[in-house]
Amino acid sequence: MGGERPSWSHDGRWVYFASERSTNPTDSGSRGWQIWKMLVQGGEAVQVTKGGGYEAAESLNGKTLYYAKPGDRAPVWSVPGSEGATGGLETAVLPAVTNGHWAVTEKGIYFTAPDAPVQPVPVLFFSFETRRVRQIGVIAKEVEPGPGFFVGQDGRWLMWAQIDRKESDLMMVENFR
């Protein structure tokens, strides 16, 4: 079974991904979307989450794996680990982010407001130090759904995919057979 939403570990040795595979089909806690990891050189995939996971980002020091659960308004959770997070006690970090629109840095998590109108879209920052969320700016245009939100490791730059123009053509075919 394949995977979705891949991401690299801090050291480039592991790839995290979401999959609906299960090591134990009778274990209802491991069914559905979960975060898995696999060494880059190959081998067996290892399940990291048990309570659901769809999109993962490892901390810059590799000591924590942050992940969003499936859904458009997904909570962010974390599990401890090192040398490729190994799982453990799942801890709630943020009540909701928009999948594909969040990024982890050394100092916190940048994300777009999940209940925001189409535009402008507030950009928020959750500080690991203060455990508080504050707005740091807005994106004036509609943000492209899905992955496409990135922050530099030092938090000095932000990159996203936005929709500048939507248009379509209406075509008519006569004598179609």
Candidate from 40-54, 70-84, 101-115 with smallest mean pLDDT: 70-84
**Each residue's pLDDT tens digit, 158-177:** 999 888 888 888 888 888 77
pTM: 0.82
pLDDT (tens digit per residue) in 38-68: 999 999 998 888 888 999 999 988 889 999 9
pLDDT of residue 84: 46
* Residue 79 neighbours by CB distance under 10 Å: 22
Residue 155: which pLDDT band, with cuts at 50, 70 and 90? confident
Cα–Cα distances in angstroms (integers) from residue 138 to residues 20, 97, 114, 116, 145, in the given order: 35, 15, 13, 10, 16
Residue 114 pLDDT: 81
Decide: helix, strand or coil at residue 124.
strand
Domains detected in the chain: 4-163 (2.130.10.10)
Instruction: Write out the two tokens for 130.
Output: 């203060």
